[in-house]
Structure formats: structure tokens, C-alpha cells
Amino acid sequence: MTLGEVFLESLSTGVITESEISWVASQQYRFSRAEEATALKLGRMLDAGSINLGCRRFI
């Protein structure tokens, strides 16, 4: 999993999972500056309600 994959999946579905948030939090020390900006964007979108915490169901 990469931050880019998490970001794009969250944008396309409108959902970020608890395991993805946990992964982002645990990997912060490895992020480049661009990835840090992406992680901040994810957090802002979550705060604003643009994406929601939940689960994805694939049918």
C-alpha cells in the first residue's frame, strides 16, 4: 500500500477505512514532503466531511 493509493481510493469512493488511517499514522516518518502534504490533505478532507470513515463493500 502506498499513500497515493490510499488517497486515490478515498477520493474515488468517499471513504477511508480505519486500517488505512492507522497505516498512514504509522508510516508518517517515512513520508516525503509531497506525501506529507497528501496526508494533510486527507486529514482536511476527513475533517470537512468530503470523505468519511467507514468500510468499503465491493460487489
pLDDT interval class at 58 (50, 70, 90): low
The pLDDT of 3-19, averaged and rounded, is 95
pTM of the prediction? Answer: 0.86
For the chain, domain boundaries = 3-53
15-16 and 52-53 strand pairing: parallel
Q: Are 18 and 53 in contact (CB under 8 A)?
A: yes
